[in-house]
Amino acid sequence: MSRLNRRSFIGRSLRAGAALGAASALPDLASARAAGANDRLRVALLGVKGQGRVHAGKWSDMKDAEVAVVCDADSNIIGDAMSVVEKKTGHKPVFVQDLRKVMEDQSIDAVSIAMPNHWHVLASIWAIQSGKDVYVEKPLGHNVWEQRKLVDASRKHDKIVQMGNYPRSLQSHRTAIDYLRSGKLGKVKVAHGICYGNRSSIRKLPDAPVPAGVDYNLWQGPAAEHPFNPNRFHYNWHWNFEYGGGEIANNGVYYLDIARWGLGKTEHPKRAMSLGGRLGYEDDGNTPNTQIGVIDYGDVQIIQEIRGLPSDKYMNVASGNVFHCEDGYMVIGGATIAAFSPKGEVLQKFSGSGEHFRNFADAVKARNRGLLNSEVLEGHLSTVLCHLPNVSHRLGETKLVSGDAPFERSDGGNDAWSRMAAHLKEDGIDPAKAPLRVGRTLNFDGKTETVPGDEEANKLLARDYRKPFAVPDTL
């Protein structure tokens, strides 16, 4: 019997007479448990707006898993996830609004988190401390400091934690990365992450009453308290640094992760800088919709490009990666996953699927974090690559950029800038007159995960937490 099954069998037998010890808070859970399901992974979904519905479907497709609980601070949006689970399995999960009550339920083996970014780490640590394993969406967390606490918590309590950057489990990507790292294309000269997608203005909206059925205090959680506003709520929270990290942390994290994976980097970069702004409109968002992040490892750089205005593709890629190498290049983007010669001839194509949730479930059942395709430390290393350009951006100076070489030590960054300037012109924006934010260069100490001598930067690598929703110092 596996460790999971042994723990579940013993624990559930002992709890049968105790009614979970939390029956007053969760009156339906005991009756909702499936008989004879000791070998099944009982999962609670935390956050079911948007990506959380995907979680509902993925878990419901597994015969050896059960979605036992659906949890969200907004009771108005749970219907789709509840319906997906019931239609696929014939079982209706229990709804719980407050995730702290989920933590009290010792019949839950794992949580699957698709809450806003500012909740990722605290919800994960609470789950770990209550004895649960964790699947948590990308990006891993809201800031560098709390992510390290999550890594430490997983180690201290010996829990399985996977970040939801699903390309890590796709066979197409795994074989492509193996080919790249085999050296058949020679050394990688520069790795590009491309994230071009139209993002329209969210406009300026007035504050409003909290909608009925929403526990807004709980939704705000670790973030500072603000009046309710639709632009600080569902999805549009992505464009507010209080809760999210803009497009670089929303979808850019996929391509930063693939870039680091392809380079074989298992350490932090030495430097990072950002150039960009929120261009083309004025609204309630404060994250850049146009951004170049230069991430420097010393021997190689990652160039992450974000474009939220209509744009042409880069080397036929709108969302993905291009690795420029000494003897060719690799494209991992959309329908094209292939290695090319310097002349553009296809050398090899890569294909194949995979299931990231299945990978997590298998690792949980085996009690082996080594089986994970994106273990929490991997998630941390990649998500730091989002935070550093954002911190650079926030500490930068808004000014007009003249010339064609704003980056002192990055040919790749300057090439990206020249293409960005042309892109802005096509969208009717004069790059020479655009209020761009030239970010501060951050010299990052990977051992301490700080920027030595820069207290402003270090403050943004962490955050002030609103009690009682603080990431704990003691794990």
Q: Under a CB-based contact definition with an 8 Å cutoff, are residues 277 and 436 in contact?
A: yes
CATH topology classification for 3-166: Rossmann fold (3.40.50)
User: DSSP for 199-232?
Assistant: ----------PPPTTB-HHHHHTTSPP----GGG
Record: fold of 168-353+375-460: Dihydrodipicolinate Reductase; domain 2 (3.30.360)
pTM exceeds 0.85 for this model = yes
Q: What percent of the chain has pLDDT over 70?
A: 92
List the chain domain ranges. Answer: 3-166, 168-353+375-460
pLDDT digits (tens, 9 = 90+) for 70-85: 999 999 999 999 999 9
Q: Cα–Cα distance between 149 and 363 in angstroms, integer?
A: 21
Domain 168-353+375-460 in the same topology as domain 3-166: no
Extract the tokens encoding 348: 């090899």
| Cis status of the peptide bond prior to 310, with omega within 30 of 0 | no
How far CA 446 is from CA of 138, 142, 388, 450, in Å, comes to 21, 18, 12, 7
The secondary structure element, H or E, covering residue 95 is strand 94-96
- 247 confidence band (pLDDT: 50, 70, 90): very high
Tell me the β-bridge partners of 69. 44, 94
List Cβ neighbours of 311 (8 Å cut-off, separation of 6 or more). Answer: 196, 318, 423, 426, 427
Query: Quick one: which of 107, 152, 147 has its CA closest to 13?
Result: 107
In single-letter form, the type of residue at position 221 comes to G
pLDDT digits (tens, 9 = 90+) for 384-424: 999 999 999 999 999 999 888 899 899 999 999 999 999 99
Q: Which two tokens stand for residue 103?
A: 């933590």
pLDDT digits (tens, 9 = 90+) for 144-175: 999 999 999 999 999 999 999 999 999 999 99
d(CA 426, CA 436): 17
Q: 377: buried, middle or exposed (CB in 10 Å: 19+, 13-18, 0-12)?
A: buried
pLDDT digits (tens, 9 = 90+) for 315-362: 999 999 999 999 999 999 989 999 999 999 999 999 999 999 999 999
Number of alpha carbons in the 13 Å side-chain half-sphere of residue 7: 18
On the question of pLDDT at 33 being above 90, the answer is no
Classify residue 51 as exposed, middle or buried by CB count within 10 Å of its CB (0-12, 13-18, 19+).
Answer: middle
